[in-house]
Structure 1
Amino acid sequence: MEQSMNESVPDLVARVAAVSPDRPAVRDGQGRVSYRELVEGAARWEAALRRRGVMPGDTVAVCLPRATVTLQAILGIWRIGAVLVPLDPSHPIVRWEFVLADCRARAIVCTEDLAPSLRKACGGTPERGRTDIVTAENLGVDRLSPESSPAPPMAPVDPDSPAYVLYTSGSTGAPKGVRVRHGALAHYVSCAGRLYEGASGPAPWHSPLAFDATVTSLWVPLTHGGEVWPVPGSDPLSGLEGLAKLLTAPVDIGILKITPTHLEALANWLGPEGTPTAITSLVIGGEALRADQVRPWLARSTQIVNEYGPTESTVGVVVAFVAPEHVADGVIPIGRPLPGTEILLCDRNGAVPGPGEPGELCVAGPQLADGYLNRPELTEERFPPHPVRLGERIYRTGDLAVRGRDGELHYVGRIDEQIKFRGQRIEPGEVETVLCGHPGIAQAAVVIHGDRLVAYVVPREGDTALEVQQLTDHLADLLPPALVPQRFLTVRELPVTPNGKLDRSALRGNKP
Structure 2
Amino acid sequence: MIYNNSKVFFDDVSSINIQHTDAYFPENKTIQRFIEEQSLWYPNRVAVCFHGQRYTYSDINRKANLLAKFLRDTKGVKTGEIVGIVADRSLEMIVGVYAIIKAGGVYMPISTDLPSKRIEYLIYDSGINYVLVKKNDAIKTDSVELINIDVVIENETTVENLVNVCEARDPIYVIYTSGTTGKPKGVVVEHRSVVNRLNWMQKMYPLSKDDVILQKTPIVFDVSVWELFWWSIAGAQLCLLDPGMERFPQAIIDSIEKNHVTVVHFVPSMLFQFLKYIEDTDEVNRLSSLRYVFTSGEVLSPICVELFNKILYTKTGARIINLYGPTEATVDVTCYNCPTEGKLERVPIGKPIDNTKIYILSNGEIQPIGKVGEICISGVGVARGYLNNQELTMERFIENPLIPNERMYKTGDLGAFMKDGNIEYHGRKDCQVKIRGLRIELEEIESSIMELENIKQCAVVNIEKNSDVLLIAFIVPSGEIDIKLIKDHLRGSLPQYMVPNRITLLEELPVLPTGKIDRNMLKNI
What TM-score, normalized by structure 1, do the two folds share? 0.90
Gaps of 5+ in 2: 1-23
In structure 2, how many angstroms separate the alpha carbons of the residues matched to 1:464 and 1:116? 32
Report 1:303-382 matches (<5 A).
303-325=319-341, 328-347=343-362, 349-382=363-396
1:151-178 CA-to-partner distances (Å, cap 9, x unmatched) read 3354263010010111000001000110
In structure 2, how many angstroms separate the alpha carbons of the residues matched to 1:197 and 1:55? 35
Report 1:443-462 matches (<5 A).
443-450=457-464, 451-462=468-479
Report 1:413-424 matches (<5 A).
413-424=427-438
Among residues 499, 502, 511, which one is paired with 2:517 in the alignment? 502
In structure 2, how many angstroms separate the alpha carbons of the residues matched to 1:406 and 1:363? 19
Among residues 95, 99, 104, which one is paired with 2:122 in the alignment? 99
1:369-405 CA-to-partner distances (Å, cap 9, x unmatched) read 0001111111111111112322210111111111111
In structure 2, how many angstroms separate the alpha carbons of the residues matched to 1:448 and 1:265? 20
**1:396/1:109 CA distance change after superposition, 3 Å:** same
Displacement after TM superposition at 1:459 (Å) = 4.6
In structure 1, how many angstroms separate the alpha carbons of the residues matched to 2:279 and 2:436? 20
Report 1:25-104 matches (<5 A).
25-29=47-51, 31-50=53-72, 51-104=74-127
Q: Which amino acid aligns with 1:315?
A: V
Q: Which residue of 2 aligns with 1:202?
A: 212
In structure 2, how many angstroms separate the alpha carbons of the residues matched to 1:419 and 1:48? 41
Report 1:78-477 matches (<5 A).
78-115=101-138, 117=140, 119-120=141-142, 122=143, 131-138=144-151, 140-142=152-154, 144-145=155-156, 148-152=157-161, 154-155=163-164, 157-198=166-207, 201-233=211-243, 235=244, 242-247=251-256, 249=257, 252-273=260-281, 274-275=283-284, 276-278=286-288, 279-298=290-309, 299-301=311-313, 302-325=318-341, 328-347=343-362, 349-439=363-453, 441-450=455-464, 451-463=468-480, 466-467=483-484, 470-477=485-492
How many matched pairs? 489
**1:462/1:394 CA distance change after superposition, 3 Å:** closer
In structure 1, how many angstroms separate the alpha carbons of the residues matched to 2:227 and 2:161? 27
Gaps of 5+ in 1: 123-130
In structure 1, how many angstroms separate the alpha carbons of the residues matched to 2:197 and 2:208? 13
In structure 1, how many angstroms separate the alpha carbons of the residues matched to 2:50 and 2:122? 29
Q: Per the alignment, in what secondary structure is the counterpart of residue 202 of structure 2?
A: helix
Contact 2:375 2:410 in 1 (8 A): yes
Contact 1:452 1:487 in 2 (8 A): no
In structure 1, how many angstroms separate the alpha carbons of the residues matched to 2:50 and 2:137? 21
Contact 2:84 2:131 in 1 (8 A): yes
Q: Which amino acid aligns with 1:256?
A: V
Task: Compare 268-277 and 355-364 and name the one that shifted more.
Answer: 268-277
Displacement after TM superposition at 1:79 (Å) = 1.0
In structure 2, how many angstroms separate the alpha carbons of the residues matched to 1:465 and 1:471? 6
**1:245/1:490 CA distance change after superposition, 3 Å:** farther
Contact 2:477 2:507 in 1 (8 A): no
**1:259/1:154 CA distance change after superposition, 3 Å:** farther
Contact 2:130 2:145 in 1 (8 A): yes
Q: Per the alignment, in what secondary structure is the counterpart of residue 424 of structure 2?
A: strand
Percent identity over paired residues: 28
Contact 1:362 1:395 in 2 (8 A): yes
In structure 2, how many angstroms separate the alpha carbons of the residues matched to 1:236 and 1:85? 23
Displacement after TM superposition at 1:490 (Å) = 2.6
In structure 1, how many angstroms separate the alpha carbons of the residues matched to 2:245 and 2:376? 30
In structure 1, how many angstroms separate the alpha carbons of the residues matched to 2:443 and 2:320? 34
- State the Cα RMSD in Å: 2.1
Q: Per the alignment, in what secondary structure is the counterpart of residue 42 of structure 1?
A: helix
Higher relative contact order (CA 8 A, sep 6+): 2
Q: Per the alignment, in what secondary structure is the counterpart of residue 275 of structure 2?
A: helix
Displacement after TM superposition at 1:97 (Å) = 0.7
Displacement after TM superposition at 1:16 (Å) = 2.0
Q: Which amino acid aligns with 1:283?
A: F
Contact 2:249 2:277 in 1 (8 A): no
Contact 1:54 1:106 in 2 (8 A): no
Q: Which residue of 2 aligns with 1:127?
A: none
Displacement after TM superposition at 1:437 (Å) = 2.5
Q: Which amino acid aligns with 1:287?
A: E
Displacement after TM superposition at 1:442 (Å) = 3.1
Q: Which amino acid aligns with 1:281?
A: Y
Contact 2:36 2:161 in 1 (8 A): no
**1:116/1:16 CA distance change after superposition, 3 Å:** closer
Displacement after TM superposition at 1:3 (Å) = 4.4
Q: Which residue of 1 aligns with 2:5?
A: none
Q: Which amino acid aligns with 1:109?
A: L
Q: Which residue of 1 aligns with 2:13?
A: none
Contact 1:203 1:218 in 2 (8 A): no
**1:99/1:250 CA distance change after superposition, 3 Å:** closer
Displacement after TM superposition at 1:251 (Å) = 5.4
1:193-252 CA-to-partner distances (Å, cap 9, x unmatched) read 22124575111111211000111222112222221111112x4755766325435x4653
In structure 2, how many angstroms separate the alpha carbons of the residues matched to 1:27 and 1:237? 16
1:41-65 CA-to-partner distances (Å, cap 9, x unmatched) read 1101111112122221211000011
Contact 1:244 1:266 in 2 (8 A): no
Contact 1:231 1:239 in 2 (8 A): no
1:417-451 CA-to-partner distances (Å, cap 9, x unmatched) read 21111111111100111122334543221122112
Q: Which amino acid aligns with 2:262?
A: G
Q: Which amino acid aligns with 1:176?
A: K
Among residues 35, 51, 70, which one is paired with 1:13 in the alignment? 35
